[in-house]
Chains A and B, each alone.
Chain A
Amino acid sequence: MTKITLNGREVEADPTKPLIHACHAGGVDVPAYCYHPGLTPVGSCRICQVEVKQGEAPARVVVACRTPVAEGMVVETESPRAHETRRECLEFLLKNHPLDCPICDKAGECDLQDYAYAEGQGEGRSVEPRRRLDKRKSLGDVIVLDEERCVLCSRCVRFMEEVPKTPQLTVGGLGSRSVIETFMDRPLTGNYQGNLADVCPVGALTLKPFRFQARVWNLKKTPSTCGECSRGCATSVEVLRSGDVKRIRPRYDAEVNTWWMCDTGRFAFEPLNVEGRITGGLARQGNTVRPVDAEDAAAATARILTAERPAFVAVTPWVTQEEGQAIRALAAEWKLPTYLVSPAANGLEDDLLHTGDPAPNRRGLVELGFQAKSPAEVLALLHSQSAAWLVGERMAALLGAANLAAVAGHKRVALFDVLPVDGPAIEVFASVPLYVERAGTWLNVDGVVRTLQSSRPLPSGFPTLERLISLVSAAARPQGAALR
């Protein structure tokens, strides 16, 4: 570690990182547009200029993202000279930047907006009209480019080159006519395009699925974990007015995904805004299905599992460690085998993040003792054994709702899923919350512990899955025995 003086304070700096990293690590907010900690610094936006004095030489104003840290460096980020240089630089960046903040999706989390608000002059001095460029240039299925808003920081260009290693974007044109473009206007490809909207410091690159959907300050952001593959990227689940999930964004996590996430996980929020859920559950008697509350559904499940043999318990890989542990304890008491319905690899694996295995908690559940079985094997068991307890969201999707409905009527199945399935064998259905509504722990493919948090409140009468399992456990005991 190198010692530098930052605004009159001695701090330790990492000599392998540029000076701006030391400033940020030391708690000094130096603005940055082209600098991103995950990308090579290029120093094209010039907004991170600070005053540096080294040895006997007079103090100079340098860009902090392209200056290596040296022993004994004296850095002043708030000196009048540094301030004035940055302010002038900002004025140039804003000269052609349209006043789009009211319609811009980035407003509220825009670095340029924040710094212009803090340091800008409020009024432009330029008398020439602003540059007119294409405001709605589609770059593939995911990204829309607004050329007017672009500050040509080239973060997107470097991201495409350095992270998924698929260089597709470039800065075309010269001087004031420079724009971001793809070769021959081909659409972008790849599974990491969504990150372009995150790395863009302004609102030039926006996500098509999120375009004008919500203002970012109305979104309630909850740290969570992606449930689309066994990597378990750290995410932020963003919910509008306690209702629909509008956006899923990566959260920095050094151990798992750093700053990035794949588009498969990012755009997997539509199924989370599911409609037609019921509170409590359903119970079948003969040919009639009637709604029951969660307690009754749990009691009916306990009756099936204590009466019928041979029987088994199967869970989906979205079940958390805590829930899995409770299910294992209950199954051990009743001497039932426990299986994990294990989806087949989806062929989306790459060298960066996606593992190709759409089972987020496979490792954790297998470590708990669940035996992995393919959906076809579980269906075969359903046909050969007399009762089953199927627990976890996407159970019907994994086994096939039609396959579940086709199980013969003399079998007794308790299904704990998000949406009910109608079939003669399905005697009990209980509604379970989605993984974005539950708290718990998953283990990712490398054994890293990932946590889930509830990102929106559950309706009343909607128990958590852990509570449902304990209700089943309590219903199987004689009155009062659960109090032991």
Chain B
Amino acid sequence: MVIVKRKELSFAERLYLPEIFRALSLTFRNMFQREITRQYPEEPLPKTEVTRGQPRLVELEEGSLACVSCGLCEAACPAYAITIDGGETENFIEREPKLFEIDMLRCILCGFCEEACPKDAIFMSDELELAGFTRKGLVYGIDKLRRPRAALQKRIDYVYRINDRWRNSSSTH
């Protein structure tokens, strides 16, 4: 058992009204200050090139995917979110993904797939929202993952810049 010792109230506090006015003054002061609450769905978060959203596949100008289904993102994925099945095409690059699935419920947005990709085919987009009615509906296939290169350009430029910095600093250490 704990005996809580109540605070002895002073006379001004016992009068009640001065404390009410003190509180209201705080409320009124804040009414004229800048709002810090964000009305989230209507007013989205600012997105920068560093924003690491859901991974998306790069679609080249000619409409084919840059992905050759090499499986390195699948191997790098720490959450086992990616499943790839390859197949043969008539294109100059003979291999393309027949099945490319990312289980968005498993994806932890770590960006390892982007780092592992030797073909610059998968990048972290700035798309963050994820909602669905079934688990199966949140396993995204190629049709839901493909984005034109232009839509990912900001992130691509950023990744290239960071990679260059790594490459140049590796000679000094």
A→B interface (CB under 8 Å): 101-103, 107, 135-136, 211-215, 217-218, 241
14 pairs of residues in contact across A and B, judged by CB atoms under 8 Å: A101-B70, A101-B118, A102-B68, A102-B70, A102-B72, A103-B93, A107-B70, A214-B85, A215-B70, A215-B86, A217-B71, A217-B75, A218-B71, A218-B74
B117 — nearest CB in chain A belongs to which residue? Answer: A102
Contact A215 B94 (CB under 8 A): no
Given contacts A212-B86, A212-B88, A213-B86, contact A135 B94 (CB under 8 A): yes
- B69 — which chain A residues lie within 8 A by C-beta? 212
Contact A212 B95 (CB under 8 A): yes
- B88 — which chain A residues lie within 8 A by C-beta? 211-212
B→A interface (CB under 8 Å): 68-72, 74-75, 83-88, 93-95, 118-119
- CA gap between A206 and B85 in the complex, in Å: 18
- B119 — which chain A residues lie within 8 A by C-beta? 102
Given contacts A102-B68, A218-B71, contact A212 B87 (CB under 8 A): yes
A99 — nearest CB in chain B belongs to which residue? Answer: B118
Chain B CB count within 10 A is highest, among A101, A136, A214, A215, for: A215
- A241 — which chain B residues lie within 8 A by C-beta? 83
Cross-chain contact of B71 among A135, A136, A211, A215 (Cβ < 8 A) = A215
The minimal Cβ–Cβ distance linking A160 to chain B, given in whole angstroms, is 25
- A212 — which chain B residues lie within 8 A by C-beta? 69, 86-88, 94-95
- CA gap between A211 and B70 in the complex, in Å: 13
A216 — nearest CB in chain B belongs to which residue? Answer: B71
Q: A212-B94, A212-B95, A215-B74 are in contact. List 19 more A-B contacts (CB 8 A).
A: A101-B118, A102-B70, A102-B95, A102-B119, A103-B68, A103-B70, A103-B94, A107-B70, A211-B88, A213-B86, A214-B85, A214-B86, A215-B71, A215-B75, A215-B84, A215-B86, A217-B75, A218-B71, A241-B83
- B68 — which chain A residues lie within 8 A by C-beta? 102-103
- CA gap between A82 and B70 in the complex, in Å: 34
The minimal Cβ–Cβ distance linking A272 to chain B, given in whole angstroms, is 18
B97 — nearest CB in chain A belongs to which residue? Answer: A212
- CA gap between A212 and B88 in the complex, in Å: 6
